[in-house]
Structure 1
């Protein structure tokens, strides 16, 4: 009587057991779906001259010094987007105004977008690119109108940010120290769904803090914050050509601190928030428009807390005076010493 069939069964059992043992030791990649925000860049549609009545209405709505030499462009079939902004060959010489159409077809009020190339990467860096506005988070828009100075319209591009559901692969291998809570309950990049940075650069230390606001609306809720952060990152990366979101930390009006630019919360990561002063500084952005409004007490407390902690990490006095040499910007020439 032959035992060969039994031997083959035994060998197959050993092979199956071997694969099972291998899979129990080697972690397999985990496939899952997550929302990723991306910026679609297009030429601004064909422009037409604004009438005197249109200019008066835009001036009354925004309080901006809107001159007579204005043009307007519109796109009512842009598709759904969560944020919008514009880029230019050079810094605009006239106010950039936009109004957005909602899902019901209603056209909102004119809003002025902040334009300041001084808030960006250092001149000559790999991130230096097109001029642009701050992105305006709208939640859900389906169309827009933009009003520009006639000269600024040449070469202007519109960036609409859209959320896409994409399949991504996450490494299931536990990372040493990942379970350690970040200081002050900082919400890390994975919480808001950040894209991976294209590159990361480091300074030798941090001795200066720069505080910004997003120049967007103040009516957002806690659940809107991750989407707002993704939209800012997408505009910075896809619209402006930067390697990541510009700011090292973000604070919302509820006082929550969020990790911004990747590379390490406690490391001197070089941002793209203060031209000429990015190396050796930490950029903290508060979500909202505080040109007229006052930041909440919770936001102010969190800003001071995270800056104090960051300065302590690098043995700098947050209440002290520091001499800082400009690396060159639209406001301060290279080599100018500031205190």
Structure 2
């Protein structure tokens, strides 16, 4: 007859193997769907136009979504479209961006996580769920743990950035950045691609809210929009400071 200690050991062994097996999987790439971390409690998700509503071409999508960590940083882009478009045409413009990203650039889907038009409408970009941490293809070398937002238009020197567009960028950044992120601060991110401004493996100290040009050799998001990033940071910090769960650093800094 087996001793009680031996029986207990036999029963515990499969459980232990399961625990260690699950533990090893932590080191594998995160490709299974996971629920994205929540924004500061009490901060509402802004109104969004879904992929279904802007008629994303789902047949173009080459791979299922991949997921990353909560957004430590947000990168601002522009699409390069002429600025005099009718906002009713924004879905068509976004479909063109999706087609370009997939068919010309060879990506799996549209690269941006979100897009904003000049009337202040926010659109879901890359598939995978607006409330989840979807890995984008927006900022070469720095897609992990970040979110990419594109302003529809061309905001080079002398261009006017519409107030509704800025208002929408504030709402989106305040909601999507992870809890504790300081919109006025900087963050250390590790480059994953030598084609960025930083060698692969190099630590880059970037603004929590950065422009595409901060990490890649490009004029994006255009001089006019880039000059407004300090205002975007200030307004985002102020918005997050109005609800529980915001960054203490953001709370202590005055809004100008």
TM superposition score category, shorter chain reference: 0.5 to 0.7
Query: Is the 2:141–2:200 contact (alpha carbons within 8 Å) kept by the matching residues of 1?
Result: yes
Give the whole-Å Cα distance in 2 for the aligned partners of 1:328 and 1:240. Answer: 16
* 1:262 paired residue number: 127
Give the whole-Å Cα distance in 2 for the aligned partners of 1:309 and 1:336. Answer: 29
Give the whole-Å Cα distance in 2 for the aligned partners of 1:222 and 1:328. Answer: 35
2:106 to 241, 244, 249: 241
Equivalent residue pairs, number: 157
* Corresponding residue SS for 1:238: helix
Give the whole-Å Cα distance in 2 for the aligned partners of 1:286 and 1:329. Answer: 26
For the pair 1:298 / 2:164, whether they are aligned, the reply is: yes
Give the whole-Å Cα distance in 1 for the aligned partners of 2:162 and 2:81. Answer: 15
* 1:334 paired residue number: 200
Task: For residues 56-108 of structure 1, give each alpha carbon's deviation from its aligned partner in whole angstroms, at most 9, with x where no partner exists.
Answer: xxxxxxxxxxxxxxxxxxxxxxxxxxxxxxxxxxxxxxxxxxxxxxxxxxxxx
For the pair 1:184 / 2:46, whether they are aligned, the reply is: yes
1:223 to 88, 97, 108: 88
* 2:146 paired residue number: 281
Give the whole-Å Cα distance in 2 for the aligned partners of 1:267 and 1:318. Answer: 20
Task: For residues 150-193 of structure 1, give each alpha carbon's deviation from its aligned partner in whole angstroms, at most 9, with x where no partner exists.
Answer: xxxxxxxxxxxxxxxxxxxxxxxxxxxxxxxx922111111110
More helix by share: 2
List gaps (5 residues or longer) in structure 2.
1-43, 206-256
Give the whole-Å Cα distance in 1 for the aligned partners of 2:189 and 2:99. Answer: 31
TM-score, L = length of structure 1: 0.45
Query: Is the 2:62–2:108 contact (alpha carbons within 8 Å) kept by the matching residues of 1?
Result: yes
Task: For residues 219-250 of structure 1, give each alpha carbon's deviation from its aligned partner in whole angstroms, at most 9, with x where no partner exists.
Answer: 10011101000011011112222111010000
* 2:55 paired residue number: 193
Deviation, structure 1 residue 286: 0.2
Give the whole-Å Cα distance in 2 for the aligned partners of 1:240 and 1:266. Answer: 26
List gaps (5 residues or longer) in structure 1.
1-181
Give the whole-Å Cα distance in 1 for the aligned partners of 2:102 and 2:169. Answer: 25
* Corresponding residue SS for 2:177: helix
Query: Is the 2:68–2:134 contact (alpha carbons within 8 Å) kept by the matching residues of 1?
Result: yes
* 1:322 paired residue number: 187
2:176 to 310, 316, 320: 310
Q: Which has the higher contact order (CA 8 A, sep 6+)?
A: 2
Give the whole-Å Cα distance in 2 for the aligned partners of 1:205 and 1:224. Answer: 32
* Corresponding residue SS for 1:189: coil
* 1:76 paired residue number: none
Deviation, structure 1 residue 326: 1.0
Give the whole-Å Cα distance in 2 for the aligned partners of 1:338 and 1:304. Answer: 24
Query: Is the 2:198–2:204 contact (alpha carbons within 8 Å) kept by the matching residues of 1?
Result: no
Give the whole-Å Cα distance in 1 for the aligned partners of 2:194 and 2:91. Answer: 31
Deviation, structure 1 residue 315: 4.3
TM-score, L = length of structure 2: 0.58
Deviation, structure 1 residue 320: 2.5
Larger CA Rg, structure 1 vs 2: 1
Task: For residues 266-310 of structure 1, give each alpha carbon's deviation from its aligned partner in whole angstroms, at most 9, with x where no partner exists.
Answer: 111111111100011100000011012131111111112101100
